[in-house]
Amino acid sequence: MSDQFKISLPDGSVREMPAGSTPADVAAAIGPGLAKAALAARVDGELVDLTRPFTGDSSLALVTARDEADALELARHDFAHVLAEAVQALWPGTQITFGPSTDDGFYYDVMAPAGREPFSMDDLPAIEAKMREIIKADKPLRREVWTRQALIDKWAKDGESFKAEWAQELPEGEELSVYWSGDDWLDMCRGPHLPSTGKLDPAAFKLMRVAGAYWRGDQKNAQLTRIYGTGWLNKKQLDAHLTRLEEAAKRDHRKLGQEMDLFHLQSEAHGSVFWHPQGYVIYRMLEDYIRRAVQGAGCKEVKTPQVMDARQWEQSGHWGKYRANMFVIPDEVPNTEDEGPVISGAAEWMALKPMNCPAHVLIFRQGIKSYRDLPLRLVENGCCHRNEPHGALHGLMRVRQFTQDDGHIFCREDQIVEEVRNFCALADRVYRDFGFTYAVKLALRPEQRFGSDEDWDKAESELRQAVIDAGLATEEYGWEELPGEGAFYAPKLEWHLTDAIGRTWQVGTIQSDRVLPERLDASYIGEDGERHRPVMLHRAIFGSYERFIGILIEHYAGKLPVWLAPVQAVVATIVSDADGYAGEVMTALEAAGIRAESDTRNEKINYKVRDHSLKKVPHLLVVGKREAEEGTVALRTLGAEHQKVMPLAEAIALLKAEATPPDLR
């Protein structure tokens, strides 16, 4: 091996460095400023520690705080390690398990020492103080490679039973790394890490909450305490994040849903929504809107069964890949006697559908299809059930029963790109009607998948080409390819919406699937008179009504556009003498198709204004004796400082325009 390595830098220059050199040595050779700013390095594309020696000629890109994605990942990973070190320093005997970075921070799962209660929110200030002490000590973070047995012995000796169990399952002969924090604390970790704890900003993190977590995610195992934190590169970023969290809390759809009397959830139906009249208005308006949109795009609406035989799910592949998330039902009459088991255990199995696609294939298979019948676009507002863990349920955002605005396009190979491009245009119109901007991502083949590499190559290429043709494969639309994130049967395009406070939500998808038509034997007669497999495009725009409504509530902070608002206007009286006129105004509003209510309670007008403002009613039509005499109303719009007095006809025209769905204007 040569005693000199050629290190290629991003600017095209090449530096020769002696064997044994590290990225830190290159940074120092370039200049002291870069040596101080460098946090890690990408060597031949791999993110590594600054102190990892080169193993040969390499390309090198030094990572600094300007490389925000990499820098944040490193910082959050290090905050997690510092958290674990702090907990063990404060409470010797604490067992540590694992602590990854997250989208906005980090967590670590720990078990309190014997005789101590699990950690709680009360412990967080002390842990934070200890973490800052460790950061300010600027302890070097040093990597070592250990053998598997040395790791097992170390953890067993220290009473770290969870770590020892994990080490025992690591493969023999694999290079296993640990990281030291100074010379007195270490953790098993692949890395990479920052050069030292002092590279973290002690004012750029905050511990947020604690929660229960089971070892390895299995409720049969020991319960641990998960300590969550948020971590950033500097205090300015942390403060901005905390402000976003405050704003998000105000917008929480669960809180607003209760205040606005839209829906509720309760333990008698875990993960299923009880829609109240006001909430169901929103649901129905969305249903009407999307039905008009997809019918205009040439789709035909269908309805399919809730329960199907397990053999159908076996044939589709879902039984093997997805059974853990399915509700299964024995196909028998339960025992009605007091004695004996309710179910015999000998019955065939059926399942509540977790998705609609296999049923749509069965509709396609009815009768002989010709190439002239394609594309066939089927859509369904299909109710589905998925057996989500109780702890994962979250308001409308993650439920067990939900309704998808689901659709499947059966088409020929030569029709795929055009169909996907048309769907891109449809999705664009819909999301813009709801006030969202979005990014488009292409999720590519996962490691575990059905289908040949040739089919995956074609499917990915077709989706990519459609996005290019639609003009969406640009930086403006956040175009990005996501390796390994496709479904087991198909790659997919994803639409990620950005809401009013900058959060992103993955909502719409379209997937190009050659697997399911093959597995379920779907075919059409081609121009050549032979049988051919259609390609099946799975598509949704809202994703699910439940989650999309939750996103809308938070995006608009409950102040929904007038056309979506459950109550679009309230007629409120100042004095009882105006009750009769209020009835006339109500009649005129209802005749114009405006969803209105009247408030003739014996309350002061300021109380009524405040009450309906909390309920997010867009418009309040205030009427008193003067308005009754003149045929006017005092129009107060939610969020506006002043009211406007205008003739009733003018107010109705204004409200009617705002109450018209955007696709009908």
List, by residue number, the catalytic residues: 357, 386, 404, 406, 408, 492, 538
Q: Which two tokens stand for residue 588?
A: 């005129």
Q: Which long-range contacts (CB under 8 A, 24 or more apart) does 630-639 make?
A: 633/571, 633/585, 636/609, 638/559, 638/613, 639/559
Query: By three-state DSSP, how is residue 227 classified?
Result: strand
Residues 256 and 263 sit within 8 Å (Cβ to Cβ): no
CA distance 514 to 456: 9
CA distance 576 to 601: 8
Interacting residues of 345 by C-beta distance below 8 A, sequence separation 6+:
330
Residues 195 and 140 sit within 8 Å (Cβ to Cβ): yes
CA distance 417 to 470: 10
Burial readout 230-261 (b: 16 or more C-beta within 10 A, e: otherwise) = bbbbeeebbeebeeeeeeeeebbbbebbeebe
CA-to-CA separations, 339 to 335, 342, 346, 347, 511, in angstroms, rounded: 9, 9, 18, 19, 50
Residues 57 and 7 sit within 8 Å (Cβ to Cβ): yes
Residues 270 and 347 sit within 8 Å (Cβ to Cβ): no
Q: Which two tokens stand for residue 264?
A: 């509720």
Q: Which of 597, 603, 601, 602 is nearest to 620 (CA)?
A: 597
Q: Which two tokens stand for residue 542?
A: 């809202």
The full DSSP string for 55-78 is -SSEEEEEE-TTSHHHHHHHHHHH
Residues 35 and 27 sit within 8 Å (Cβ to Cβ): yes
CA-to-CA separations, 451 to 447, 448, 460, in angstroms, rounded: 12, 10, 13
Cα dihedral 506, 509, 512, 518, rounded to 10, equals: 100
* Omega prior to 202 cis, within 30 of 0: no
| DSSP H helices in 98-234 | 124-136, 148-157, 161-168
CA distance 650 to 630: 13
Residue 207 host element (H or E): strand 205-214
Residues 550 and 395 sit within 8 Å (Cβ to Cβ): yes
Cα dihedral 639, 641, 642, 648, rounded to 10, equals: 0
